Amino acid sequence: MNPSILSTIPTTSKIHDFFTRHDDKQQNGLITRLDRSPIRQKKVAFFSALALNIVIIICLTILAVLAIRNNLQAPYPPSTRLAFALTQNILLASAVVALLRSTIIPFFLGECRLRYLYGFQEAELAIRRAPRSRSLDLRNITNLSGDSKAPKLTGSALVPLCYAAQNLVDMKLVYYRPGALFSSNYWTPEYSAMLDAYNCLGAGQLAEVDFDFAVWKQADGAWTVCELWRLQEMAHDATAVSTAEAAIIILRSFMDLDAFTSRELSDAL
């Protein structure tokens, strides 16, 4: 019997308590995955980001010093100098605040703290707060058939869910990676949830597999999880056929494939 990728979490479970602690007021949910990239690659990414953030801080400090000196030495009348200084300072302060909030503070208080406490591991947790998006709404991938109240997965809605979730937790687009700096799709991990998760793992309250690739959503106090990692795992195990053909066989065993093409499956997985 193939396990379902969509399930409701018991309210008495530790994983239910964990996600309830870290969901936002809008109940947008969270996305989890395990980063199994090589440790060397993780080290290169981290130390590159560390060097980049140090350079950014140095540049901002130099700009601030130059701005103050220019304001004091500008050969203008006091009123003109004041207007020029205010305009320059507002622009500089806006840039500094944006960089502090989006990059510097999360990196030093989040990523550096995480590395100091737990170092580099073969499988690392990645947790992101899910943005408000229709493609991530788990209600879109279920329907009710006949008199049964049990939800059935629909393939046509699972494709955008897989695609959206993969892009949203793409480790190449983490905010501290140099290549993601100018991308509109960069994202910031939920460090408070990740630190709590590592504490729970260390205490034996949760298992690492609980945080594999999945979308978690809360409604009316109940958590529903769509474990997308099961699709990837079963597709990789089916080595006798192509990825798209394997996905069709797998998905047919536990869901209705309405308007679900081989190309869509291949792109999703």
3-state SS class at 266: helix
The Cα 94–Cα 91 span in angstroms is 5
Range of the domain at 236: 6-268
**pLDDT tens-digit profile of 242-259?**
444 444 444 444 444 444
Q: How confident is the model at residue 168 (pLDDT cuts 50, 70, 90)?
A: confident
Q: Is residue 1 part of a domain?
A: no
Q: Is residue 163 part of a domain?
A: yes
**pTM of the model as a whole:** 0.75
- If pLDDT is split at 50, 70 and 90, which confidence band does 230 have? confident
Answer yes or no: is 237 within a domain. yes
Give the strand order in the sheet containing 30-35: 6-9, 222-226, 214-219, 30-35, 124-129
Q: Domain total for the chain? A: 1
Residue 41 lies in a domain: yes
Buried/exposed code over 35-47 (b: 16+ C-beta within 10 A; e: otherwise): eeeeeeebeebbe
Phi/psi of residue 127, each to 5°? -125, 130
DSSP-assigned beta bridge partners for residue 218: 223
